[in-house]
Amino acid sequence: MTREAHQGRRQARAEALEQWLGSRNEVYYVDMAGPLPREYYTAAVIHQGTQVDGLTFKATSSSKAEEVAVALAVSHPNSKQIVPDSQRACESYLAGEISPLANRLLKFSIRNHDLTPKHLIWTPGHQGLQGNEAAHAAARVLTSRETSRSPDRPERPTPLTRFREIKEYYIEQRRLYPAPAKRLSKTEERALRCLQTNTLVCPAILKYYDPKISGQCQYCGEVANTYHMVWACQMNPKLTPFPNPTKEDWETTLLNSSTLEEQRTLVQRARVAASTNDVPD
């Protein structure tokens, strides 16, 4: 539930949690701040509007720091509902893959015979939930996030730990052509992918399946491959010709067509070119 794409849902969830949880006695809010120089973070625990715990420590990422903040709240015997604002930290607890420091804090609370069941309740951060805002402010007071970070040192990227995250990272790294726009139909998506991979059916390909087809453009006699059929032919009366077309321009168009309008225009041109060259759908 990202801040940019789901602002309404995030706000609605925060408002519902405010009504449901508020400042009930068993509810503890947590948050972290950082990173600071040498990869230090701070964590704070809020109970009924008051900071009851805090810690400065090293962590490899903000989600790992949030795991520590949750563990701090777990160590309080009265805590039954713990409210962090990190989805990844909640997922780590569900998967049993928390950081070593968070694990040590949990073991310490167990040694103190605190066997009270705990419930993690995720809240969207910075949406006006009073407990979450108080925890965020307390963590920043412990060590200010903005002023303590070295301006010349880039922020350390969050490590990829989930299969889906790793897969999506490599997909994006290897992506050459833009992904189909969201409002393209499935038929348009397939046509766009065929253009990008140079696998669109054209007379130059059909001649290998039908000996009656010469593979030449019926308008100018050139080899009717995808590039010529869609982009370079100057004689097709159904297509607006491009002056001095080149393969570089064609490849640039494929690489840069990322919006719905650009992709749909390209696909429609390819469809017209195919139909006028007697290419079956």
Mean pLDDT for each consecutive 10-residue tract of the chain (281 residues)?
A: 70 89 89 87 93 92 94 91 94 92 87 76 90 92 59 58 81 87 94 95 94 92 95 95 94 94 97 93 77
C-beta separation of 267 from 192 below 8 A: yes
**Looking at 84-210, which runs of residues are DSSP E strands?**
119-120
- pLDDT score at 145: 47
- pLDDT score at 147: 47
3-state SS assignment for residue 168: helix
- pLDDT score at 126: 85
If we measure between CA atoms, which residue out of 66, 5, 80 comes closest to residue 35?
Answer: 66
CA distance 27 to 21: 7
CA distance 47 to 130: 11
- pLDDT score at 157: 60
- pLDDT score at 156: 55
If we measure between CA atoms, which residue out of 85, 82, 146, 150 comes closest to residue 114?
Answer: 82
- pLDDT score at 62: 92
Backbone conformation region of residue 248, classed left if phi is above 0, alpha if psi is from -120 to 50, else beta: alpha
Q: Taking the CA atoms of the chain, what radius of gyration do you get in angstroms?
A: 29
- pLDDT score at 235: 95
Length of the chain: 281
Tokens of 150: 């070295």
30 pairs with which residues across the strands?
A: 45
Full set of structural domains in the chain with CATH: 7-148 (3.30.420.10), 186-276 (no CATH)
Tokens of 108: 């310490």
If we measure between CA atoms, which residue out of 207, 212, 259 comes closest to residue 229?
Answer: 207
- pLDDT score at 158: 63
> Residue 251 half-sphere exposure, CB side, CA atoms within 13 Å?
4
Residue 216 sits at φ, ψ, to 5 deg, of -100, 155
What pTM was computed for the model? Answer: 0.53
Sign of CA dihedral 277, 278, 279, 281: positive
- pLDDT score at 160: 72
- pLDDT score at 148: 47
> Residue 265 half-sphere exposure, CB side, CA atoms within 13 Å?
11
